[in-house]
Amino acid sequence: MTDDQLIQMLRQGGLPRERANRFLQNKFFYLIRQLGVRQQRLSYDEAQMAFSDALTELDWKVRQGDDIEDLGKMIYTLTHRRGVDTIRKRTTKTNTEPLNNPVSTSALPEWFLDALQNLDADHVLSRLMQHENEQEKRQRQLRIMGCVLKALDQLPKKRRSLLANKLDGYDYEELTQLHGFKTERVAHEMVSRGMNSLRDTLKNLCQMGEPVCQDLCTWLNRKNQL
């Protein structure tokens, strides 16, 4: 498979995206040993985590429309960066847990926040996470992520994964098979209900004055349109 084909499959979403990811994981799995273990002196498990994160990030970048010329080079670069993150984490304490939210943001890697921050400018997360002061920006990112994770945490795991699959590009026929619904109509109804409960949950968090949701709620209740 050529890079162009793989990029096309990743952008297509659903099952083609799964196949492309599997292909890339098999093809570049050797990086765990060559780069992570041998060059960066990581353990096999650490190197595997770095490699998986690199693939996740690559998938994210492709889906966001980033222009990638050489997938192999990009995977190498990202795996190297995630390896460096792992080495840094060993020696420094990261300031990623200043919040009192039950759903911890400390489990999220740094690149994760950056990836969300670098969504296209119109995206709500991108807009909400902007701030001139770098430190305040990071705090805001963490608060917004904390609020989002808290809202997600109140939904059953199956429902969360159904919504994520829908966003990942699975059509209703595939969702019906994947989640064992009787008909496509049921799948459609479940997605619709899932989105409704997520919105209700966000609304409730704002009504209860959840501190971690302060930024998000202020934005939601603005008088003007955007």
- Residues binding another protein (CB under 8 A): 21-22, 25-26, 29, 32-33, 37, 44-45, 48-49, 51-53, 55-56, 59-60, 112, 115-116, 119, 123-125, 145, 148-149, 151-152, 160-161, 163-168, 192, 195-196, 198-199, 202-203, 216, 219-226
To the nearest whole angstrom, how small is the minimum distance from the Cβ of residue 90 to another protein? Answer: 19
Q: What is the distance between the alpha carbons of residues 58 and 77, in angstroms, rounded to a whole number? A: 10
**DSSP state at residue 221:** T
- Angle between helices 3-12 and 14-27 in degrees, nearest 10: 140
To the nearest whole angstrom, how small is the minimum distance from the Cβ of residue 92 to another protein? Answer: 22
Q: What is the distance between the alpha carbons of residues 33 and 11, in angstroms, rounded to a whole number? A: 29
To the nearest whole angstrom, how small is the minimum distance from the Cβ of residue 163 to another protein? Answer: 5
Q: Which helix (H) or strand (E) holds 114?
A: helix 110-117
To the nearest whole angstrom, how small is the minimum distance from the Cβ of residue 187 to another protein? Answer: 14
Nearer of residues 91 and 226 to another protein, judged by Cβ: 226
To the nearest whole angstrom, how small is the minimum distance from the Cβ of residue 26 to another protein? Answer: 8
Nearer of residues 79 and 176 to another protein, judged by Cβ: 79
Burial 56-70 (b: 16+ CB within 10 A, else e): bbbbbbbbeeeebee
Nearer of residues 132 and 226 to another protein, judged by Cβ: 226
Nearer of residues 6 and 51 to another protein, judged by Cβ: 51
Q: What is the distance between the alpha carbons of residues 99 and 81, in angstroms, rounded to a whole number? A: 27
Q: Is 31 exposed, middle or buried (0-12, 13-18, 19+ CB in 10 A)?
A: buried
Nearer of residues 112 and 172 to another protein, judged by Cβ: 112
